[in-house]
Amino acid sequence: MDTPPSALHASARGNRMEKTLIPLLLVSAMLPAALAQERIYRCGSEYTNNAAQAKERGCKLMEGGNVTVVQGSRPASGAAPAAGAAPSPATPRTGSSDQKARDADMRAILESELRKAEARHAELLKEYSDGNPERNAIDLRNPQRRQERSDELKASVARSESDIAGIKREIARLPAAAD
């Protein structure tokens, strides 16, 4: 019933061989990919692996990582349309009335946001009261907390002013409202 020692020795030798064979196969599988890495040169926003072309154009060698470049789609073999040509049917344009309706909706949304932002700003200014926020129970026990709260309110006031300015810039970018 006992397994002969020679069979145990063969089994152990097989496990050891498998343990060395698997990493060896993995390394040999990755070797072609590692050898396929070429030097990549950056020429502005373009990349090339042609050393002569890179030297001619004064490109810089990219180091320390792999570069993945995804090629864009090429135009059809026909003549390219002129810059002033009409858009292709693949890119539908919205009608003038549709665009005006969208602009009006956008203006209404932005004006609503502006009113909300101005109301929040007024509340913050009232609470901040020129750097002297009203004392509460926590502030009486911890004077440092009052200063922190004052600083937080000041930052919130500045942020709300920035928000209001941004919304006003967005409204100014919209076409004039047709009344």
How does DSSP assign 58-122, residue by residue?
T-EEE-SS-----PPPPPPSSPPPPTTSPPPTTS----HHHHHHHHHHHHHHHHHHHHHHHHHHH
Inform me whether the pLDDT recorded for 81 exceeds 60: no
- Domains contained in the chain, number: 2
Least-confidence region, from 10-19, 115-124, 153-162: 10-19
86: in domain: no
- 69 pLDDT exceeds 70? no
Q: How far is CA 94 from CA 22, 100, 173, in A?
A: 61, 10, 19
**Considering the domain boundaries, does residue 167 fall inside one?**
yes
Residue range 144-153: mean pLDDT, rounded: 84
Residue 89 lies in a domain: no
Do 109 and 162 share a structural domain? yes
- pLDDT reported for residue 88: 53
The answer to whether residue 178 is domain-embedded is no
Is 103 inside any structural domain?
Answer: yes
Of 13, 37, 62, which residue constitutes the final position of a domain? 62
Residue type, 144: Q
100 occurs within a structural domain: yes
pLDDT of the residue at 6: 59
**Domain with 104 in it:** 96-173
pTM of the model: 0.44
> Is position 80 within any domain?
no
What is the residue-averaged pLDDT of the chain? Answer: 77
In this prediction, residue 5 carries a pLDDT of 59
For the segment 110-148, what is each residue's pLDDT rounded down to a tens digit? 999 999 999 999 998 888 887 777 777 777 788 788 788
pLDDT of residue 66: 65
The H or E element containing residue 14 is: helix 5-35
Greater model confidence, 87 or 123: 123
pLDDT at 106: 92
pLDDT at 7 over 70: no
Res. 32 pLDDT band, cuts 50 70 90: low
Query: Is 91 within the bounds of a domain?
Result: no
